[in-house]
């Protein structure tokens, strides 16, 4: 008898809880306390639920919080308080800005303007698309950035008579959008949950408040190095482009820009507010402002964009554009990391890693952390889950090696963004894959070398920039 979809999900839930129970009975080394065993079991439940989506991923976050409370890892009030983490104001502000840009078609205008500078050579067009996607992803969600760029790219691809799944142009173009969207979010604390969670853990576990500008000074150079390498590998090594030039490609883009006309007063207003938002987010780097300014600035930005007469969007438009579950998901991820730290799991895993890596160079250590985080996204299929698991371990590991905490945390957090292997790893991957221009195996073929090279670049650049800043 074939099980229905709901019956399959129930079976996964029951089997997972049974496996979690067995985990608590395993003969762990003495260093694992009873609480550590229980927290490991809870982490397994969370990971399986996130991967299989046997229940909505947002509800999985609540399951983690409730289980921690039931088994005395941390009280329910403390667990739920992670949902109200100040870091969610960053995500909220990003949604508000994205709503404003989308409502007035500024996101598309910015993307087309960047592409219009690249000429008609296909490799240069793909490079322009990657730059535009990454830039958008720094300020709005990587999902939204992908959704904006896919139609633009399809318009260019459709100017050539190519068959889906056969053309390297189609493969490279669609993969480049997904990959650039994943990488672009690394650039700001508001760009992706992995960045926001890293900022939150640095504050909670290490007492370090990193400013918006300080984050950008370390993360944007990583993007600047990764995007060209990714582009070279995609277009010249993995899927060499068979069509060298698209006649009329840029002409089509410039025609659309011409039809848009000059900036409207509303669009100019949005650019002014956006510039003000960037100033507010970065001003604590050069002005003596109060502690927690990053989050205060985020609230001010939300109010500026929504305020009557001053703002450019209303509450009704904004609330319909927000994925409210993301705030619960981030809270659950932070609760998972906090619970693992409280139960001693983080300390134990960091001790094992420090023993294995003892005597190696800092570059080998950072690369190992980055690779573990980057490839773990394949299992977790969630930036939140991956960064919530490995950032606390990286922070503890930095303490054990007496090295800089920010470097270790950023490599672990940003490593989770290097999700290039499977369509299910991130929404941009899934959206890009859904158009049928490449197979899963073809994504893996591109993703493996790009992941490894990106981790190497990430570790090198973050380490080098710390010496400079």
Percent of the chain scored above 90 by pLDDT?
Answer: 45
Q: Is residue 410 part of a domain?
A: no
Q: What is the pLDDT of residue 299?
A: 94
Mean pLDDT of 96-106: 87
Q: What is the pLDDT of residue 1?
A: 63
Q: Is residue 208 part of a domain?
A: yes
Per-residue confidence band for 177, with pLDDT thresholds at 50, 70 and 90:
very high
Residues 236, 299 within the same domain: yes
Q: Among 319, 341, 375, where does a domain finish?
A: 319
Q: What is the pLDDT of residue 157?
A: 79
Residues 74, 93 within the same domain: no
Percent of the chain scored above 70 by pLDDT?
Answer: 97
- Residues 431-444 have pLDDT tens digits of 888 888 888 889 98
Q: What is the pLDDT of residue 282?
A: 87
Q: Among 34, 52, 81, where does a domain finish?
A: 81
Q: Is the pLDDT of residue 297 over 80?
A: yes
Q: Is residue 125 part of a domain?
A: yes
Residue range of the domain that includes 55: 1-81
Average pLDDT of every residue of the chain: 88
DSSP string, 16-62: HHHHHHHHHHS---TTS-HHHHHHHHHHHHHHHHHHH-SS-HHHHHH
Residues 58, 110 within the same domain: no
Hey, is 82 helix, strand or coil? coil
Q: What is the pLDDT of residue 378?
A: 67
Residues 297, 149 within the same domain: yes
Q: How many domains is the chain built from?
A: 2
User: DSSP class of residue 85?
Assistant: -
Residues 1, 125 within the same domain: no
Q: For the chain, how far is it from start to end, CA to CA, in angstroms?
A: 63
Residues 94, 218 within the same domain: yes
Q: Is 348 exposed, middle or buried (0-12, 13-18, 19+ CB in 10 A)?
A: buried
Any residues with CB less than 8 A from the CB of 9 and at least 6 apart, and which?
52, 54, 55
- Residues 332-383 have pLDDT tens digits of 888 988 898 899 998 898 888 888 888 888 889 999 999 999 988 766 667 7
Mean pLDDT of 309-329: 88
Residues 55, 105 within the same domain: no
* Max CA separation in the chain (angstroms): 70
Residues 30, 164 within the same domain: no
Q: Is residue 229 part of a domain?
A: yes
Q: Is the pLDDT of residue 159 over 90?
A: no
Q: Is residue 369 part of a domain?
A: no
Q: What is the pLDDT of residue 367?
A: 92
**Helix 122-139 vs helix 212-232: crossing angle, to nearest 10:** 160
93 or 72, which is more confident:
72
Q: What is the pLDDT of residue 422?
A: 79
Residues 256, 298 within the same domain: yes
Which of 6-20, 313-327, 337-351 is the most confident on average?
6-20
DSSP string, 347-374: HHHHHHHHHHHTTS-HHHHHHHHHHHHH
Q: What is the pLDDT of residue 323?
A: 81
Q: Is the pLDDT of residue 183 over 90?
A: yes
Q: Is residue 354 part of a domain?
A: no
- Compute and round to an integer the Cα radius of gyration of the chain: 22
Per-residue confidence band for 111, with pLDDT thresholds at 50, 70 and 90:
confident
d(C-alpha 302, C-alpha 297), whole Å: 9
Q: What is the pLDDT of residue 248?
A: 67
Residues 107, 67 within the same domain: no
- Residues 243-287 have pLDDT tens digits of 887 766 677 778 888 998 899 999 999 999 989 998 998 888 788
Task: For residue 133, give Cα distances in angstroms to 292, 313, 407.
Answer: 30, 23, 26
Any residues with CB less than 8 A from the CB of 434 and at least 6 apart, and which?
423
Task: For residue 231, give Cα distances in angstroms to 121, 178, 324.
Answer: 14, 12, 34
Residues 103, 199 within the same domain: yes
- Residues 49-87 have pLDDT tens digits of 887 889 988 899 899 999 999 999 999 999 999 998 888
Mean pLDDT of 108-124: 81
Q: Is residue 449 part of a domain?
A: no
Residues 143, 267 within the same domain: yes
Q: Is residue 448 part of a domain?
A: no
Q: Is the pLDDT of residue 144 over 90?
A: no
Q: What is the pLDDT of residue 381?
A: 63
Q: What is the pLDDT of residue 154?
A: 81
Q: Among 60, 81, 102, where does a domain finish?
A: 81
Q: What is the pLDDT of residue 48?
A: 87
């Amino acid at each position: 008898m074939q099980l229905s979809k709901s019956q399959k999900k129930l079976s996964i839930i029951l089997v997972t809880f049974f496996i979690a129970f067995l985990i608590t009975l395993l003969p762990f080394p003495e260093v694992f306390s009873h609480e550590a065993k229980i927290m490991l079991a809870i982490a397994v439940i969370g990971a399986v639920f996130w991967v299989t989506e046997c229940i909505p991923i947002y509800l999985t976050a609540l399951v983690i919080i409730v289980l921690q409370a039931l088994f005395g890892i941390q009280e329910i009030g403390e667990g739920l308080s992670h949902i109200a983490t100040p870091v969610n104001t960053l995500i909220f502000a990003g949604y508000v800005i994205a709503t404003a840009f989308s409502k007035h078609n500024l996101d598309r205008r910015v993307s087309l303007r960047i592409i219009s500078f690249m000429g008609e050579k296909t490799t240069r067009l793909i490079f322009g698309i990657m730059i535009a996607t990454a830039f958008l992803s720094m300020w709005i969600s990587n999902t939204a950035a992908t959704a904006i760029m896919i139609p633009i790219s399809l318009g260019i691809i459709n100017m050539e008579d190519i068959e889906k799944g056969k053309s390297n142009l189609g493969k490279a173009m669609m993969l480049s959008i997904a990959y650039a969207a994943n990488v672009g979010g690394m650039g700001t604390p508001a760009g992706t949950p992995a960045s926001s969670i890293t900022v939150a853990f640095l504050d909670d576990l290490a007492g370090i408040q990193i400013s918006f500008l300080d984050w950008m000074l370390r993360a944007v150079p990583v993007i600047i190095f990764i995007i060209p390498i990714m582009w070279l590998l995609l277009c010249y090594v993995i899927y060499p482009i068979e069509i060298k030039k698209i006649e009329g490609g840029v002409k089509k883009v410039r025609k659309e820009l011409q039809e848009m006309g000059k900036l409207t007063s509303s669009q100019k207003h949005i650019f002014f507010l956006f510039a003000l938002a960037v100033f507010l987010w970065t001003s604590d780097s050069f002005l003596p402002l109060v502690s927690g300014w990053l989050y205060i600035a985020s609230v001010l930005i939300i109010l500026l964009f929504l305020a009557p007469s001053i703002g450019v969007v209303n509450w009704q438009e904004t609330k319909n554009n927000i994925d409210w579950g993301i705030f619960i998901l981030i809270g659950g991820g932070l609760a998972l990391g906090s619970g693992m730290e409280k139960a001693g799991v983080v300390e134990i895993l960091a001790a094992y890693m420090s023993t294995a890596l003892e005597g190696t160079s800092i570059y080998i250590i950072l690369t190992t952390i980055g690779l573990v985080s980057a490839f773990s996204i394949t299992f977790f299929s969630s930036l939140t889950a991956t960064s919530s698991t490995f950032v606390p371990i990286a922070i503890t590991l930095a303490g054990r090696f007496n090295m800089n905490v920010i470097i270790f945390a950023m490599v672990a957090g940003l490593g989770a963004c290097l999700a290039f292997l499977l369509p299910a790893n991130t929404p941009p991957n899934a959206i890009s894959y859904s158009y049928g221009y490449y197979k899963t195996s073809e994504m893996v073929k591109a993703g493996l070398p790009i992941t490894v090279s990106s981790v190497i670049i990430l570790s090198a650049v973050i380490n080098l920039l710390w010496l400079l800043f």
